[in-house]
A = this chain, B = another copy of it.
Amino acid sequence: MVTTPLRKATMGPGRQRRDRPLERQEIIDATLVLSRLPDRRALSARQLGERLNIDASAIYRHFAGMDDLFRAALDAIWLDAVKLIPRSLPWRARLETMGHVSLQMVVEHPGVGVEAYRMNTNGPGEQAAIDLVLACLEEAGLPDHEVVEFYAVLASTVLSHASAQAAWRMTAADPRLPAERPWIEPPSAPDPAAFPALARHVDGVSGLDHTQVFDLSLRVVLDVIESRVATPGT
């Protein structure tokens, strides 16, 4: 891989003194900006420092480490996502919208979005997102234990697909046309003796794209919830 040098001209101090103290929120904002770039190297302590005119080590006065910073940035994403969901929608449409908005937010910020599937932010954004989903499931009429269970299934489904898509964006050979490539690319002609079922379905499998797989998975979970409500106690 070829990296552009990014060298500082003449290596001097090169940095102008900031006119006011650095704030936590500025670091979070810069993290969200850099996280939009689909490049693993774009989001690092040193790159943040350059963008904020501070030394990378100054970040550690505001966050315990890069993980802590990423958590804060993710939480800001959840806060934004929740704000975009109209309260007036009925429960299923609200959950569908929340799923799609979460996907979009995570995929648009792949640098931090890749961590969504494994990272709990423990912040107000996360709490608001959980609260929203739980409220929808209550409204659907599920009993308490199923509210909790389907929250977990729904959240893990959405977060995992979103993260996978974000990760895929970061490693895509061609940064353009992001959502167009297939979800998986098996060999175009698998050995029918060794893999007969794959050979029969290879065209179908190759035809899947990320968006389609996300929509299918979300629909499966929502359909199950709806059927539980219709015939409870199974």
- Residue among B127, B144, B145, B168 making CB contact with A198, cutoff 8 Å: B127
Q: Mark A60-83, 1 if CB is under 8 A from B, else 0.
A: 000000010000000000000000
> At the interface, is chain A mostly helix, strand, loop or mixed?
helix
| Residue in contact with A148 in the complex, picked from B147, B148, B201, CB distance below 8 Å | B201
Asked if A161 CB lies within 8 Å of chain B CBs, one says yes
A37 to B227, CA, bound (A): 43
Residues of B within 8 A of A145 (CB): 204
How many copies are assembled? Answer: 2
> Of residues A124, A127, A224, which shows the largest number of chain B Cβ atoms within 10 Å of its Cβ?
A127
Q: In the complex, are the beta carbons of B152 and A183 less than 8 A apart?
A: yes
Are B160 and A208 interface neighbours, CB within 8 A?
A: no
Q: Are A122 and B187 in contact (CB under 8 A)?
A: yes
* B118→A168 contact, CB < 8 A: yes
